[in-house]
Amino acid sequence: MSSTDDLSWLRHRALVRSAPAAADDLSWIRHRRRPADTTTPATRTAPAPPATSLDLGGGNDTSLDLPTGPAPAISGGVSGTPTAPPATNTSLDLSGGATSLDLGGSGTSLDLPTGAPAHGGTSLDLSPGGPPPPPSRGGTSLDLSASPDVPGASPTVPGTSLDLSPGPAPSPAPAAPGPPGPAAPPPAFTPPRTQGSAPTVLSPRQPSVQLTRLQSGIGALTFEAAWSPDEGFVLGCAYQMDSGWSSVLRQGETFGPLVLDRHAGHQRLRLDLLHGRHLQRLIVFGVPAVDPGPHWAGTLLIGTHGQARIEVPVQPPPPGPTVLLSLYNVDGEIVLRAEAQTVPGRIRDACLAFGYDRIAWRDADTAIPPA
């Protein structure tokens, strides 16, 4: 038989034989009663609650269970009502003696041995809602807030809290007194000024006078001997320039701004202030010509710019030269002082007594003039 005939025969045979059997089977299944289930349904095991409590005090067991794996699968049949998972416990208990830390899974306990158990619990509850537990007597909390004072409240049991609230600033300590400073120097002596309306008379009680800057720099300063030329003193002067040069000027001589001559029958020394700014100091002295007697008297008159006048009384000359007046240039202002000092000896001795020690002398009364 060919392959085509075999396939046709087999197809026809399968249709004929399989149709009645299928019908019979379905009818039997409909009328067949399901046998009773005699097997005990498997109880669904509830998953372990995700224990997250940290218990470090209270009882003997203070383990911390933190399982992180999935809940175990349900075994057995599908019958039975699934058990609801328990409420998640998120309290952190720090009380107790043992301090083992159980992280769940395969052996991850951490033992934290401590000393004697605390008197009270220090659990930390992380669950939402609910009032916080009261603080324990021997707690280890860190209090950073400033607690207000409640009137009539009982005193708080001393704990170990650290209060970082700002306190009152301490008052600064008084500064220690320092050592006394140096005493102020006494004020420098300032000579009086000239009076324009009346002459200024120099005396032992007021021996000096200071010219103004205008009187010290404009015009000329004149020294005139108000006595008879045949009696009394013969005028002369010793001077020192700012260059250090020193010399003596006698009757009829001239040097730079200084002229010693006669005017209206009287001896006169004239200082040109326009060219006398380089003059540092000078003295006016007198040498007695003849003995005038005990009743003789004279005056040395000084005239300035603006017709101001200064008078220096002159007493009868004793033997020897007498320094009548000294002049100093102090910062551009002229200071005059009545000396009335007689020096025993010669003119050179009088000059040396007032510090003119750079003068070259021909003899005791005659100095070498400048070249």
Task: Say yes or no to pLDDT of 191 above 50.
Answer: yes
Helices (H), the chain: 3-31, 347-353
Residue predicted with more confidence, 367 or 118: 367
- The pLDDT, as a whole number, for residue 88 is 46
Close Cβ partners of 158 (under 8 Å, ≥ 6 residues apart): none
Q: Give dist(CA 317, CA 348) in Å, integer.
A: 18
**Taking a C-beta distance cutoff of 8 angstroms, is the pair 209, 194 a contact?**
yes
**Taking a C-beta distance cutoff of 8 angstroms, is the pair 254, 269 a contact?**
no
**Confidence at 72, pLDDT banded by 50, 70, 90:** very low
**Taking a C-beta distance cutoff of 8 angstroms, is the pair 371, 358 a contact?**
no
Tens-place pLDDT, residues 126-175: 555 556 555 555 545 555 555 555 555 555 555 556 667 777 777 777 77
**Confidence at 347, pLDDT banded by 50, 70, 90:** very high
Close Cβ partners of 296 (under 8 Å, ≥ 6 residues apart): 227, 231, 232, 316, 317
Task: Say yes or no to pLDDT of 225 above 90.
Answer: yes
**Taking a C-beta distance cutoff of 8 angstroms, is the pair 105, 69 a contact?**
yes
Nearest to 225 by CA among 287, 281, 179, 165: 287
Q: Please name the residue that has the structure tokens 């000027």.
A: 249
- The pLDDT, as a whole number, for residue 337 is 97
Instruction: Identify the burial level of 47 via C-beta atoms within 10 angstroms of its C-beta, where 0-12 means exposed, 13-18 middle and 19 or more buried.
Output: middle
- The average pLDDT across 87-98 equals 46
- The pLDDT, as a whole number, for residue 34 is 59
**DSSP-assigned states of every residue in 39-59:** SPPPPPPPPPP----EE-SSS
* 3-class SS of residue 349: helix
DSSP 211: -
What is the CATH code for 200-353?
2.60.60.30
- Report domain extents, the chain: 49-66+89-114, 200-353
Task: Say yes or no to pLDDT of 303 above 60.
Answer: yes
Helix (H) or strand (E) holding 268, with range, is: strand 266-272
- The average pLDDT across 336-347 equals 94
**Confidence at 342, pLDDT banded by 50, 70, 90:** very high
Close Cβ partners of 349 (under 8 Å, ≥ 6 residues apart): 321, 343, 364
Q: How far is residue 31 from each of residues 20, 21, 26, measured CA to CA in Å?
A: 17, 16, 9
Task: Say yes or no to pLDDT of 296 above 70.
Answer: yes
Q: Please name the residue that has the structure tokens 């003849």.
A: 290
**Residue 85's beta-bridge partner residues?**
none
State which amino acid sits at residue 89. N
Residue predicted with more confidence, 232 or 185: 232
Close Cβ partners of 242 (under 8 Å, ≥ 6 residues apart): 278, 279, 280
**Residue 272's beta-bridge partner residues?**
220
- State the number of CA atoms in the 13 A half-sphere of 218 facing the CB: 8
| CB-based burial, 263-292: b 16+ in 10 Å, e otherwise | eeeebbbbbebeebeebebbbbbbbbeeeb
**Taking a C-beta distance cutoff of 8 angstroms, is the pair 361, 350 a contact?**
no
**DSSP-assigned states of every residue in 225-291:** EES-TTSSEEEEEEEEETTS-EEEE-TT-EETTEEEEEETTEEEEEEESSS-TTEEEEEEEEEE-S-
Q: Give dist(CA 137, CA 118) in Å, integer.
A: 9
- The average pLDDT across 283-288 equals 93
- The average pLDDT across 208-231 equals 89
- The pLDDT, as a whole number, for residue 163 is 62
Close Cβ partners of 282 (under 8 Å, ≥ 6 residues apart): 237, 238, 239, 240, 258, 271, 326, 327
Task: Say yes or no to pLDDT of 301 above 90.
Answer: yes
- The pLDDT, as a whole number, for residue 183 is 74
Task: Say yes or no to pLDDT of 307 above 50.
Answer: yes
Q: Give dist(CA 371, CA 369) in Å, integer.
A: 6
**Residue 296's beta-bridge partner residues?**
none
**Residue 323's beta-bridge partner residues?**
285, 341
User: What is the percentage of the chain residues whose pLDDT exceeds 90?
Assistant: 33
